[in-house]
Amino acid sequence: MRYSLTIEALHTAYRSGELTPSDLIDQLLAAADVYGHDAAWITRLTREQLAPYLQRLEGESPESLPLYGIPFALKDNIDLADIPTTAGSPAFAYTPSESAFVVQQLIAAGAIPLGKTNLDQFATGLVGERALEVYGTPANAFDPTLVPGGSSSGSAVVTAAGMVSFALGTDTAGSGRVPACFHNLYGVKPSLGLLSTRGVVPACATLDTISLFTLTADDAANVLGITAAYDDQCAWSKRVDFAIHGKRYGKAPAAFRFGVPLEAQWQTDAAYTQGMHLAIAELEAIGGEKVELDCSPLLAAARLLYEGPWVAERYHVIRELMQSHPDAVHPVTFQITQGGATPLAVDAFDARYQLAEYKRQADALIRHVDVMLSPTTVTHPSKAEVAADPIGVNSRLGTWTNFMNLLDYSALAVPVGFSERGLPIGVTLFGPALADLELLSLARALEQRLMLPLGATDHPHPPLAELSIAAQDGSMELVVCGAHLQGLALNHQLTQRGGTLVSVTHSAPRYKLFALAGGAPKRPAMLRDDNGQAIEVEVWRLPIETLGSFLAGIPAPLGLGQVELADGSWKCGFICTAGALNEGGEAEEITQFGGWRGWLASQA
What is the four-CA torsion angle of 239, 470, 286, 373, rounded to 10 degrees? -10
Instruction: Kindly name the residue from 89, 152, 175, 507 that is annotated as catalytic.
Output: 175
Rounded CA-CA distance 117/133 in Å is: 15
Annotation marks residue 175 as catalytic: yes
Q: Which distant-in-sequence residues (6+ apart) come within 8 Å of 188 by Cβ?
A: 176, 211, 212, 214, 220, 223, 224, 412, 436, 440
Rounded CA-CA distance 229/78 in Å is: 17
The answer to whether the beta carbons of residues 154 and 173 sit under 8 Å apart is no
Annotation marks residue 151 as catalytic: yes
Q: Which distant-in-sequence residues (6+ apart) come within 8 Å of 486 by Cβ?
A: 501, 538
- What residue spans of 17-119 are helical by DSSP H? 21-35, 47-55, 101-108
564 pairs with which residues across the strands? 570
The answer to whether the beta carbons of residues 443 and 464 sit under 8 Å apart is no
- In this structure, how many other beta carbons lie within 10 angstroms of the beta carbon of residue 1? 17
The DSSP element (H or E) to which 475 belongs, if any, is strand 475-480
3-state secondary structure of 188: strand
Rounded CA-CA distance 167/14 in Å is: 21
The answer to whether the beta carbons of residues 250 and 359 sit under 8 Å apart is no
Instruction: Kindly name the residue from 75, 116, 189, 383 that is annotated as catalytic.
Output: 75
Instruction: Kindly name the residue from 4, 89, 99, 151 that is annotated as catalytic.
Output: 151
DSSP summary character for residue 255:
S
What is the four-CA torsion angle of 140, 202, 197, 308, rounded to 10 degrees? -90
Q: Which of 140, 150, 175 is nearest to 382 (CA)?
A: 140
Annotation marks residue 75 as catalytic: yes
DSSP summary character for residue 542:
E
Q: Which of 571, 453, 596 is nearest to 513 (CA)?
A: 596
Active-site annotation, residues: 75, 151, 175
